[in-house]
Structure formats: structure tokens, C-alpha cells
Amino acid sequence: LAKTTQPISMDSYEGQEVNITCSHNNIATNDYITWYQQFPSQGPRFIIQGYKTKVTNEVASLFIPADRKSSTLSLPRVSLSDTAVYYCLVGDGNTGKLIFGQGTTLQVKP
């Protein structure tokens, strides 16, 4: 399974755009890239998933370059409630098995 590397922590301020980049050099052809958000004492929550180029939903955007060796989660205009741990995962949609890394702890300050 492809491993991912992402920053351990990031700080931001309310109203700013936050970009979290994830490296996945060994991504396989069948792998999708998925991002999750986790608040303390809760299970992770699905944010967004993509295969290539750009995906956007009501919460975030996901940018994936042509070589798919990295991806960037973009959170527009963050608020204090976006303070959480963000996980980048790559995995085969057929087997469904995903391996979590340590994630990025995002701290949004007022």
C-alpha cells in the first residue's frame, strides 16, 4: 500500500485559505486519494476524494497534478471549527483497505 507523507502540524488564522500538501510517491494506478478530518474524541469524517486533476465539493477542493505523486487539500476561509487533524490516504477502491498516517494537526487561531 502506498505510504503518504504530510506535515505534522500547521497554524492558520480565521478567514485564511489553508493548503495541506501530501506526498505519495508510490501511488498505484488503481489508487484514489482520500482526505479525512478528525475532531478529538470522534471518528474520522470523509472530506473529499479524487483520482486526478481537481475535485471540489461544498467543504474543500483537492488538487492532484498529472503525475499523481502528491495532492493538496485546500480549505477556503477556515474558521475555528476547522481545527482538527487531517489525514491523507491513498488506496485501492476495490479492496477498500486504507492505511492512515499521523495526519496534519491544523490549528486555526482567532
Partner 1 sequence: NAGVTQTPKFQVLKTGQSMTLQCAQDMNHNSMYWYRQDPGMGLRLIYYSASEGTTDKGEVPNGYNVSRLNKREFSLRLESAAPSQTSVYFCASVMAGENYGYTFGSGTRLTVV
User: Interface residues with partner 1 (CB under 8 A)?
Assistant: 32, 34, 36, 41-47, 49, 51, 87, 93-103
Q: Closest Cα partner for 75 from 34, 50, 47?
A: 47
Q: Nearest distance from residue 49's CB to partner 1, in Å?
A: 6
Shortest distance in whole angstroms from residue 57 CB to partner 1: 11
58: left (phi over 0), alpha (psi -120 to 50) or beta: alpha
Residue reference for cell 486519494: 33
Nearest residue (CB) to partner 1, 81 versus 95: 95
Closer residue to partner 1 (CB): 78 or 90: 90
Q: Which residues contact residue 36 at a Cβ distance below 8 angstroms, ignoring those fewer than 6 apart?
A: 44, 45, 46, 47, 86, 87, 89, 100
Of residues 18 and 33, the one with the C-beta less far from partner 1: 33
Assigned C-alpha cell, 100: 492512515
Q: How far is the CB of 85 from partner 1 (least distance, A)?
A: 8
35 vs 82, beta carbon nearer partner 1: 35
